[in-house]
Structure 1
Amino acid sequence: MSTLTVRQYKHSDFSAVKKLFIEGCHEHASTTFYQALRLHQNWLLMILGFLLPLVTVGSILLAILDVVVVLVVLWLCGRKFFYGYATHALADDMKDIPKYYLQREGYNYWVVESDGEFVGMVAAIPSYLPGGEKNTELKRMFVDQSHRGKGIAKVLCRTVIEFARKKGCKAVILSTTTVQTSATNLYRSVGFRCTHTSYMTGFTQRLIRLQWIYFRYDVNNSK
């Protein structure tokens, strides 16, 4: 049985952290594409795109081309969001992890090793709700694909929960996307509850029905 070690981020972790973060974001592009293919609105769009040139100009080639264009657009929609998300984060908080996460009160960044091998990471930042409720937000949690299903993500969640408890926070909150079903199932199994969902407002995001889902774990009610 492998030994898991959770420790605070070090400068030497940056290359491994960056690689895992990019891979973790990019893998959701294909999941989003397959979800978009299940939407009735997109099937209708492909059917119309196929029939219109077939009926009007009698071109089967143009009909097929229209369907291909719709498929490419749907793929690019998911890719644009998740690739853009990764690019923005790497230019923002993950550009200098020690400065952003380790030198400010209420922030932290951990990595987890399995028998000395880097396999995952998670971060925490302070969050204040209207009325002044003090919470901790779970961020940047990723586990290497080859090490999933071993309870590592649960260990990382509990690390943030314990951090929030020590900081006197009322809850741990987080947001993810509805296409990340493995992540949402994990959060529920740990004890997080879904508080609400919201559709993203961008045109390409609406086309693939991309939604945010928000979770909350009440620290004071946990054992």
Structure 2
Amino acid sequence: MATLIVRQYKHSDFPAVKKLFIEGCQEHPSTTFYQALRLPHNWLLVILGFLLPLVTIGSILLAILDVVVVLVVLWLCGRKFFYSYAAHTLAGDMKDIPKYYLQREGYNFWVVESDGEFVGMVAATPSFLPGGEKNTELKRMCVIRSHRGKGIAKVLCRTVIEFARKKGCKAVVLSTTTVQTSATHMYRSVGFRCTHISYMTGFTERLVKLQWIYFRYDIPNSK
């Protein structure tokens, strides 16, 4: 049985944290692409892309090329979102983790080790709802692929929940994408409930049906 240790982030963790975050973001374009292929409007694009050159100029080669172009566009739509998200995050809160997370009240960043090996991370930030309700937002959750399914993500969730409890928060909230199905199942198993789902506003994101899903964990006996 592996020994798990959750500890606060330190500067020497940055290369491993950055690598894990980037690899995590790179997993999702393929899932988004396969989801996009199941959507009726994208099937219509593929069919039209094939039939139009075939009917108008009788070119089977151009018809096949048009289908390839549609498929490449769908792939790039998912890739664009997750790669842009990674770049924005690395230039934002993860550019200087100690300054952003460890030197501000209500913020924190943890890593988890399994038998001394870095295997995951999670962060927390304050979140205030309209009306002044004080919550904690769970962010940057990621576990190395080879260590998934071992309960590490649940341990990290409970770390954030306990942190929020000590801060007197009403709940822990988070947002993720609907294509991250393993993550959404895990959050539900811990006790989070879905509060709502919303479409992303960009055209490319809507084309592949990328959606935000929001979760909330109410902290019992919070003050």
Find the counterpart in structure 2 of residue 219 from structure 1: 219
Q: Deviations over 1:78-123 (max 9, x none)?
A: 0000001000000000000000000000000000000000000000
Deviations along 1:157-205, one digit per CA (max 9) or x if unpaired, are 0000000000000000000000000000000000000000000010100
TM-superposition CA deviations, 1:3-60 (whole Å, max 9, x none) = 0000000000000000000000111011111111111110111001101110110000
Structure 1 stretches of 4+ moved >6 Å: none
1:97 and 2:101 are equivalent in the alignment: no
2:46 equivalent in structure 1: 46
Distance 1:209 1:118 in 2: 34
In 2, Cα distance between equivalents of 1:172 and 1:79:
29
The 5 A counterparts of 1:78-117 are 78-117=78-117
Deviation at 1:221, TM superposition (A): 5.9
Write the distance in 1 (CA, Å) between the matches of 2:57 and 2:189.
Answer: 55
Q: Calculate the TM-score normalised by the size of structure 2.
A: 0.99
CA–CA distance in structure 1, aligned partners of residues 98 and 181 of structure 2 = 31
CA distance in 2, matches of 1:193, 1:133: 18
- Rounded Cα–Cα distance in structure 2 between residues aligned with 1:119 and 1:57: 56
How many residue pairs end up in the alignment?
A: 222
Whether 1:32 and 2:32 are equivalent positions in the alignment is yes
Separation in structure 2 between the aligned mates of residue 171 and residue 152 of structure 1, nearest angstrom: 21
CA distance in 2, matches of 1:82, 1:221: 37
Unaligned runs of 5+ in 2: none
1:220, CA displacement in angstroms?
2.1
Aligned-residue Cα RMSD (Å) equals 0.8
* Residue in 2 that maps onto 1:205: 205
Tell me what 2:75 maps to.
75
SS in 1 for 2:149: coil
Identity among equivalent positions (%) equals 87
**TM-score, normalized by length of structure 1?**
0.99
Tell me the amino acid that sits aligned with residue 202 of structure 1. G
